[in-house]
Amino acid sequence: MSIKADFIIKKPQGLYCPYGDFYLDPQLPVHTALITHAHNDHAKPGNNLVFCTPNTAQIMQLRYKKNAAKIFELTNYLQQFTIKDVTLTFYPAGHILGSAMVLMEYMSLRYLFTGDYKLQPDPTCQPIQFTNANVLITETTFANPAVKHPNPAKEIEKLNAINGNIMLGVYALGKAQRINKMISDYCPQKQILVHHSILPLHLLYQNQGVDIGTFLPYNRKSMKQNQTNQIYLVPPVTFNSYQRVTNVVRVFASGWKNLQTSTANSVFISDHVDWDDILLTIEKVEPQQVWTIHGDGSYLKKYLAGKTEVTIIENAY
């Protein structure tokens, strides 16, 4: 049986599987959606029927309330389910809590959709679990040989060298919880204060039994009284609104390569795979074809020429 080039096609609503009549991380409301994880560029509100992991549904419901979805079909990792003629299984993606890769099986062929994923250890989410597939459909956010993510422990330890209180900009979901745990582990003398918009996600993680380390809700009085060892976790919008804040060292925790400059007060911790980890994923999955989305697949296509066929799906989402 040959691989079907139209197994996943791009439509205005997002990536569509015509053989199962469902969308993967649709960008507009659809009847049937598979949501890989709860980041808002993948999990949009307003879909009719959503298949996802329980953790993803919990986060979507926290964020979107009644608009999260009309119906949720909760599916655990490694639990098979069927939509029309396609058999599906969620595998842990290692990206954030509840994140999943989607294995789609049709007519004895296996198509693995990664969503966003990472291989670096992260105790705040389920570790990635590989499976073989004929086609690997991978994000290529950092699919460039020049991009090699630094050791995250070494990055977080930079905070130990900063005297005074720190305002640390972090993305509220996934990044904030991972950073909180890393500060607790590698900078134990630091006290962590959490912005009110991040706090509900911290509590959700804790309620699911995830150890994200120690923290307290932000308290302005405490921050002013102690001028040496507090770290205030804030979302990007708050971080950007305090450009001229005094008596606080501003640091942003990001994995985006356009922010990876040699600045002493930068922390580079990514929740995506870099070039080496994409190659390791291909080695583990052993696909005959690689389809690339969400990034630049041209480097991968050149590197794998003559070895593995690569198809680039432009601007998939």
Q: How confident is the model at residue 256 (pLDDT cuts 50, 70, 90)?
A: low
> Per-residue pLDDT for 161 more than 80?
yes
- pLDDT recorded at residue 261: 46
Enter the tokens of residue 253.
Answer: 């925790």
Choice among 7-11, 45-49, 94-98, 258-262 with the minimum mean pLDDT: 258-262
Model confidence over 81-133: pLDDT tens digits? 999 999 999 999 999 999 999 999 999 999 999 999 999 999 999 999 999 99
- Asked whether the beta carbons of 317 and 15 are under 8 A apart, the reply is yes
Mean pLDDT on 23-41: 98
- Asked whether the beta carbons of 135 and 288 are under 8 A apart, the reply is yes
- pLDDT recorded at residue 144: 93
The Cα–Cα gap between 83 and 34 comes to: 10
- Give me the amino acid identity at 248: V
Question: Checking DSSP bridges between strand 22-24 and strand 14-17, what pairing results, if any?
Answer: antiparallel
Q: Where are the domains of the chain?
A: 9-146+272-312, 152-268
CB atoms within 10 A of CB 101: 30
Q: What is the CA radius of gyration of the chain?
A: 20
Residue % of the chain over a pLDDT of 70: 94
Instruction: Tell me the C-alpha to C-alpha distance, in Å, between residue 139 and each of 59, 75, 239, 246, 291.
Output: 22, 23, 28, 40, 9
> Per-residue pLDDT for 266 more than 90?
no
**Dihedral of alpha carbons 308, 314, 150, 112, sign:** negative
The CATH number of 152-268, from 3.30.460.10, 3.90.79.10, 3.40.50.2020, 3.40.50.10710, is: 3.40.50.10710
How far the first Cα of the chain sits from its last, in Å, is: 29
Beta strand extents in the chain (DSSP E only)? 9-11, 14-17, 22-24, 32-34, 47-52, 69-74, 81-83, 86-92, 100-106, 109-113, 135-140, 166-169, 191-194, 216-217, 230-234, 249-254, 266-268, 289-295, 309-312
pTM: 0.94
Q: Helical H runs in 169-293? A: 175-186, 199-207, 220-225, 236-241, 275-285
- Asked whether the beta carbons of 176 and 170 are under 8 A apart, the reply is yes
Class (C level, CATH) for 9-146+272-312: alpha beta
- pLDDT recorded at residue 206: 98
